[in-house]
């Protein structure tokens, strides 16, 4: 009857036990009402003087669609024709019907038939495709993922018109049955990687999955590392770029975040803006961002070491200004730094939750008033304010929110180390950090690549961004099976003659 | 899990060390200028200038200076005595200037610098100078317009260095010259002018071995000396008398700025004592010459000849003075050791240095004369 049935069925999955409808309408309807625990939003509409019933979950179904899909054609038909609706789907398995009802389908049951007709009447409330707030770019695409899985995949497919783009669905969460999509580009993505992600996804056995954040913790390699090991984005263009490099994307229903694996440390420092601007600018901004990494984790520690241990390194002309600034501060520099860092975190956290106008007020009160008063009160020195403010700004330079929070967190251990051991402490801290970064792996890819292990060719898109026509090979990070990205471009000459 | 059991151990290792080896910058008394004098009974007297700054929320606060001296057996002994007179402890790691009293400099100065070479925290870039009179007087001066004596002295020395009146000297740079034979060094020589309450730069104190010879090269001769040594600051200005009679006026003088020098040292080691020849070629700009006939090549030749003669004479005087006090500040010995090791081994350089023949020959060339003719 259905020629493509074997294609659509997943062979590995065991078939669930089916429970057939009976031919009695009364029995069937009672079954479903009980199955939904007499939930009040299960609406029953008695038709044909009690010989037929249309039922659906009022909260999920769209009234207008019911009108169009069911009632309009229904009115034109007589009883005998009813079961031949072309738009309806005949189902007799009760479990299946429950599943479909939960998606917003409406079921039409008629006395004397075990089959029920199911119409897709799902109501969809989608926010519009807008630019994500936390990943804005100056130039380039201003579309962002929304909370609907199908529209998100649509946004990706629109950008890669290629039959090799594969989407596979998984249901995760034993109670929530969240639909999760695995997207990759066949022929580019490494099959081993795809298998790895699939296996790990299947191994999730938890009651509920709300967002990709849940998935990430279940499938990443090093759950106890502070560093994010999957790229998080709400941008379709970024997703597409990563798919083209051979990465695998994981999207889930009800969330606008897309997860991508494998991730490397330097991937978190790339932004679509780098490629939209000229390559000089892109390189410069990339370097600024990587420099901000050093500032964000090391500057307070460096300053504390200097004023607490090694003040002989202060430049000659700065000695008196620094001395004057910290001379009568009541607390040692570590307390100063911790107070300031915590104040900044408080202001930041308070600002996120509050509506924009109030958030700005908090920013001004926190930044200006507290900042000024705390110096006048002699609790924190001018220089510490400069240092901590610079650190906070540097941590926000990273395009990825996950990496940014990680950086702010890493400041603390380094502050403590520098306050106990000075420069030696910083060296120890950085050493541990480097060891950790170098030995980490994300889905089989070294996390600190292309630095450790060194791939000189891949540095073209790490510290710098070379012109696009120079990027002839894909980065080896994701171990893609197709290396070349282009034949030689720019074969023309400025005088119009061809180079060949 | 084992690694979580280890965590408190590691944390306590870090946190329980406490702050015992911290040196809080806010808790130290900052010493930017210091000096040592000779005291009675072979003791030394150290003087330190402590700069106290007041805290301020806007820019650097007001500064107060505290001058403390104490005598002791050694520089570090005096340090203990000074600490007993002040609140907290003083710290010399940001020292800008170290002054040596004239009397003390005549002894072996290495003994007073030893503590600086040993301590990794000490500022080896601190400028050194010899003070005629006592260091205590020099550091106690209150110079109008110069709130910090350390800034005053370093500023003065930097200026003199730029105008080729002294070489770049600091504790680090003189170290090898202190310890090696075949090379002596010079230090700036300052005197205290109590009437005007200022310090004056006098010239270069000539050291022989590790002690001050007691004579200094006046600052007028310092330029030529440094040029012979191959050192030139930002400018090297010399004013020389050309022409005129016994009643000189301003028109008899020419001021030149030496732009480029080519120096050649050659040794003749055939005799029992080596002969040294210093060939110095200078190219200079005329900065000041009121009579002004500089468009004529003849006039320029004439001037060049006259200056050459004058400079050669002066060079001989300088070398005479160096040999007299047995100070090999030009480093001829080291040069001999490097290029003629056989000759060097036969000699006891310290003894023969005073007797060897050194011939300076100076070529002077005027390159330009400004935008007027």
Q: Answer left, alpha or beta for residue B84, where phi above 0 means left and psi between -120 and 50 means alpha.
A: alpha
Per-residue confidence (pLDDT) for residue A13, from 0 to 100: 45
- Gap between the Cα atoms of B121 and B124, Å rounded: 9
Residue B144's pLDDT is 86
Nearest one of A321, A373, A338 to B25, comparing CA atoms: A321
- Mean pLDDT, all residues of chain B: 88
Residues of chain A in contact with residue B55, where contact means CB-CB under 8 angstroms, are 324-329, 378
Domain B235-373 has CATH 3.40.50.300: no
DSSP-assigned letters across all residues of A176-229: T-EEEEEEEEBTTB-HHHHHHHHHHHHT---S---SHHHHHHHH-S-TT-SS--
What residues in B contact A320, CB-CB < 8 Å? Answer: 30, 51, 53, 60, 63
Sign of CA dihedral B138, B226, B168, B335: negative
What parts of chain B have a pLDDT lower than 70? 1-3, 14-20, 56-59, 373
Run of H or E including B49: strand B44-53
Residues of A in contact with B24 (CB under 8 A): 307-308, 332-333
Both tokens of B109, joined, read 């100065």
Return the minimum-mean-pLDDT range out of A27-41, A118-132, B139-153.
A118-132
Interface test with A, best of B55, B60, B158 (most A CBs within 10 A): B55
**Which range (A217-226, A405-414, B44-53, B290-299) has the least confidence?**
B290-299
Interface of A with B in 235-294 (CB under 8 A): none
Candidates A372, A377, A419, A420, partner chain B, best to mutate (most B CBs within 10 A)? A420
Q: Are A194 and A247 in contact (CB under 8 A)?
A: no
Q: What is the β-pairing status of strands A52-57 and A42-47?
A: antiparallel
Contact B22 A416 (CB under 8 A): no
| The token pair that represents A57 in the structure block | 């979950």
Cβ contact, residue pair A311, B93, below 8 Å: yes
Residue B1 has a pLDDT of 59
**Cross-chain residue pair B24–A378, CB shorter than 8 Å:** no
Residue with tokens 């789907």: A89
A55 membership: H or E segment, kind and range? strand A52-57
Chain B CB contacts of A426 under 8 Å are none
User: In chain A, which residues have their Cβ closer than 8 Å to the Cβ of B54?
Assistant: 324, 327-328
Phi first, then psi: give them for residue A432, nearest 5 degrees.
-60, -40
Return the pLDDT at A461: 84
Residue of A nearest to B119 (CA): A312
Residues of B in contact with A421 (CB under 8 A): 14, 17
| A120-137 core/surface letters (b: 16 or more CB in 10 A; e: else) | bbeeeeeeebeebeebeb
**A321–B contact, CB cutoff 8 A:** yes
Give the list of residues 6+ apart from residue A97 with CB closer than 8 angstroms, or none: A21, A32, A91, A107, A116, A118
Closest chain A residue to B27, measured at CA: A327
Q: Which of A352-356, A397-401, B131-135, B327-331 has the lowest mean pLDDT?
A: A352-356
Asked if the Cβ–Cβ distance from B53 to A378 is below 8 Å, we say no
B316, two tokens: 């001989």
- Do A109 and A36 touch, CB atoms closer than 8 A? no
Give dist(CA B357, CA B312) in Å, integer: 15
Q: Cα(A46)–Cα(A44) distance, rounded to whole angstroms?
A: 6
Rounded Cα distance, A107 and A96, in Å: 11
For chain B, what is the radius of gyration of the CA atoms? 26
Q: Which residues of A touch B19 (CB under 8 A)?
A: 308, 332, 419-420
Phi, psi of A24 (to 5 degrees): -90, 125
Integer-rounded Cα Rg, in Å, for chain A is: 30
Distance set, CA A300 to CA A384, A469, B58 (Å): 8, 41, 21
Distance CA A436, CA B280 (A): 62
| Interval A132-147 mean pLDDT | 86
* pLDDT over threshold 80, residue A76: no
Residue A1 is predicted with a pLDDT of 47
Q: Which of A223, A302, A324, A379 has the highest number of chain B CBs within 10 A, making it the mutation to test binding with B?
A: A324
Instruction: List CB contacts (< 8 A) between A378 and chain B.
Output: 55
State how far the Cα of A393 lies from the Cα of A292, in Å rounded to an integer: 9
Nearest residue on chain B to A333, alpha-carbon basis: B24
Contact by Cβ (8 Å): B75, B115: yes
Phi and psi at A109, nearest 5°, equal -120, 145
Nearest to A235 by CA among A209, A269, A259, A264: A259
Taking the C-alpha atoms of residue A182 and residue A201, their distance in angstroms, rounded to an integer, is 9
pLDDT of A277 > 60? The answer is yes
Burial A319-352 (b: 16+ CB within 10 A, else e): bbbbbbbbbebeebbbebbbbbbebbeebbeebe
Q: Which residues of chain A lie closer than 8 angstroms to B21, CB-CB?
A: 309, 422
Q: Parallel, antiparallel, or unpaired: how do β-strands B198-208 and A106-110 relate?
A: unpaired
Among chain B, residues having any CB pair with chain A shorter than 8 Å are 14-15, 17-19, 21-26, 28, 30, 32, 51, 53-57, 59-61, 63, 93-94, 96, 121-123
| Coil vs helix vs strand at B60 | coil
Residues 344-403 of A with CB under 8 A from B: 375-376, 378, 382
Chain B nearest-CA residue for A331:
B26
pLDDT given at position B73: 92
- Tell the residue number behind the tokens 């039959």, with chain if given: A163
A327 touches chain B (CB under 8 A): yes
**Cross-chain Cβ contact B94/A416 below 8 Å:** no
3-state secondary structure of A313: helix
Beta strand spans in B102-137 (E): 127-132
Q: How far is CA A147 from each of CA A105, A122, A125, A253, A412, rounded to the nearest angstrom?
A: 20, 15, 9, 7, 35
Q: Where on the phi/psi map is residue A254: left (φ > 0), alpha (ψ -120 to 50), or beta?
A: left
Q: Is the pTM of this model over 0.95?
A: no
Size of interface A-B (CB pairs under 8 A): 88
| Residue A11 confidence class, pLDDT cut points 50, 70, 90 | very low
Q: Which of B81, B78, B148, B205 is nearest to B139 (CA)?
A: B148
* Kind plus residue range of the DSSP H or E element containing B72: strand B63-72
Q: A268: which residues sit within 8 A by CB, 6+ positions away? A: A228, A231, A398, A399, A400, A402, A403
Q: Domain extents for chain B?
A: 24-217, 235-373
Structural domain boundaries of chain A? 19-119, 133-263, 275-446
Q: Strand, coil or helix: what is B305?
A: helix
- Are the C-beta atoms of B69 and B3 separated by less than 8 Å? no
The answer to whether residue A323 neighbours chain B at the CB level (below 8 Å) is: yes
Please tell me the predicted confidence (pLDDT) of residue B14: 64
Burial B147-176 (b: 16+ CB within 10 A, else e): ebbbbbbbebbeebbebbbbbebbbeebbe
Q: Quick one: pLDDT at residue A486? A: 79
Residue B106's SS3 state is coil
Torsion of the alpha carbons at B294, B297, B300 and B304, rounded to the nearest 10: 160
Please state whether B31 falls in left (phi above 0), alpha (psi between -120 and 50) or beta.
Answer: beta
Return the pLDDT at B204: 93
Mean pLDDT of A404-421: 90
In this predicted structure, the answer to whether residue A321 has a pLDDT above a threshold of 50 is yes
Nearest CA in chain A to B91: A312
Mean pLDDT of A216-220: 90
H/E run at residue B279: strand B275-288
Contact B18 A420 (CB under 8 A): yes
**By the CB < 8 Å criterion, does A328 face chain B?**
yes
């Amino acid at each position: 009857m259905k020629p493509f049935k074997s294609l659509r069925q997943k062979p590995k999955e065991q078939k669930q036990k089916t429970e057939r409808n009976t031919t009695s309408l009364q029995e069937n309807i009672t079954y479903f009402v009980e199955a939904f625990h007499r939930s009040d939003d299960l609406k029953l509409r008695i038709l044909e003087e009690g010989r037929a019933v249309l039922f659906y979950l009022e909260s999920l179904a769209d009234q207008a669609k019911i009108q169009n899909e069911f009632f309009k054609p229904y009115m034109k038909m007589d009883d005998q024709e009813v079961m031949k609706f072309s738009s309806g789907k005949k189902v007799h398995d009760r479990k299946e019907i429950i599943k479909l009802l939960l998606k917003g389908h409406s079921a039409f049951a008629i006395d004397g038939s075990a089959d029920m007709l199911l119409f897709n009447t799902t109501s969809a409330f989608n926010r519009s495709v807008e630019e994500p707030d936390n990943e804005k770019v100056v130039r380039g695409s201003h579309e962002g993922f929304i909370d609907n899985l199908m529209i998100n995949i649509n946004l990706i497919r629109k950008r890669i018109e290629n039959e090799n783009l594969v989407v596979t669905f998984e249901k995760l969460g034993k109670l929530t049955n969240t639909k999760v999509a695995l997207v990759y580009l066949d022929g580019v993505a490494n099959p081993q990687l795809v298998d790895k992600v699939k296996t790990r996804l299947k191994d999730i056995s938890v009651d509920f999955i709300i967002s990709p954040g849940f998935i990430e913790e279940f499938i990443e390699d090093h759950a106890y590392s502070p560093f994010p090991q999957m790229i998080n984005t709400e941008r379709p263009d970024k997703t597409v770029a990563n798919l083209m490099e051979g990465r695998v994307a994981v999207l889930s229903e009800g969330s606008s975040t897309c997860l991508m694996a494998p991730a490397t440390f330097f991937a978190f420092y790339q932004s679509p803006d780098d490629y939209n601007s000229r390559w000089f600018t892109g390189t410069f901004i990339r370097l600024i961002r990587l420099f901000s990494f050093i500032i964000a984790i090391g500057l307070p520690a460096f300053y504390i070491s200097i004023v607490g241990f090694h003040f002989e390194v202060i430049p000659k002309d700065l000695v008196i200004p620094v001395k004057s600034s910290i001379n009568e501060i009541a607390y040692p520099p570590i307390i100063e730094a911790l107070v300031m860092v915590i104040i900044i975190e408080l202001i930041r956290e308070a600002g996120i939750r509050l509506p924009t106008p109030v958030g700005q007020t908090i920013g001004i009160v926190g930044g200006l008033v507290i900042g000024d008063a705390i110096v006048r009160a002699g609790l924190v020195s001018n220089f510490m304010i400069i240092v901590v403010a610079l650190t906070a700004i540097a941590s926000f330079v990273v395009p990825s929110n996950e990496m940014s929070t990680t950086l702010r967190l890493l400041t603390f251990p380094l502050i403590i180390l520098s306050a106990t051991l000075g420069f030696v402490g910083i060296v120890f801290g950085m050493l541990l950090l480097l060891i950790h970064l170098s030995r980490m792996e994300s889905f089989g890819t070294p996390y600190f690549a292309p630095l450790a292990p060194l791939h000189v060719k891949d540095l073209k898109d790490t510290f710098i961004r070379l012109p696009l026509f120079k990027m002839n090979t894909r980065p080896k990070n994701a171990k893609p099976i197709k290396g070349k990205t282009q034949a030689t471009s720019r074969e023309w000459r400025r005088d119009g003659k061809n180079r060949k | 899990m084992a690694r979580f059991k280890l965590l408190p151990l590691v944390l306590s290792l870090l946190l329980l060390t406490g702050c015992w080896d911290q040196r809080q910058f806010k808790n130290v008394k900052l010493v930017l200028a210091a000096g040592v004098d000779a005291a009675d009974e072979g003791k030394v007297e150290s003087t330190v200038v402590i700069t106290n700054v007041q805290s301020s929320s806007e820019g650097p606060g007001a500064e107060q200076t505290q001058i403390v001296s104490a005598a002791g057996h050694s520089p570090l002994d005096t340090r203990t005595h000074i600490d007993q007179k002040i609140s907290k402890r003083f710290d010399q790691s940001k020292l800008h200037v170290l002054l040596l009293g004239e009397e003390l400099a005549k002894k072996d100065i290495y003994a007073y610098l030893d503590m600086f070479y040993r301590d990794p925290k000490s500022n080896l870039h601190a400028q050194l100078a010899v003070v005629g009179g006592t260091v205590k007087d020099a550091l106690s001066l209150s110079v109008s317009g110069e709130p910090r004596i350390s800034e005053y002295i370093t500023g003065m020395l930097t200026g003199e260095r730029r105008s080729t009146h002294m070489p770049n000297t600091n504790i680090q740079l003189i170290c090898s010259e202190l310890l090696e034979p075949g090379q002596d060094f010079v230090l700036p020589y300052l005197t205290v002018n109590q009437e005007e309450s200022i310090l004056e730069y006098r010239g270069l104190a000539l050291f022989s071995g590790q002690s001050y010879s007691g004579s200094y090269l006046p600052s007028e001769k310092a330029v030529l000396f440094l040029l012979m040594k191959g050192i030139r600051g930002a400018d090297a200005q010399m004013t020389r008398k050309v022409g005129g009679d016994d009643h000189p006026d301003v028109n008899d003088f020419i001021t030149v700025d030496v732009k480029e020098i080519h120096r050649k040292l050659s040794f003749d080691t055939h005799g029992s004592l080596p002969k040294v020849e210093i060939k110095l070629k200078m190219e200079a700009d005329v900065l000041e010459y009121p009579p002004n006939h500089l468009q004529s090549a003849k006039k320029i030749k004439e001037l060049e000849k006259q200056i050459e003669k004058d400079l050669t004479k002066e060079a001989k005087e300088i070398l005479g003075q160096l040999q007299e006090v047995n100070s090999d500040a030009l480093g001829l010995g080291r040069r001999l050791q490097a290029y003629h090791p056989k000759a060097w081994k036969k000699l006891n350089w310290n003894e023969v240095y005073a007797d060897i023949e050194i011939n300076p020959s100076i070529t002077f060339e005027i390159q330009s004369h400004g935008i007027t003719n």
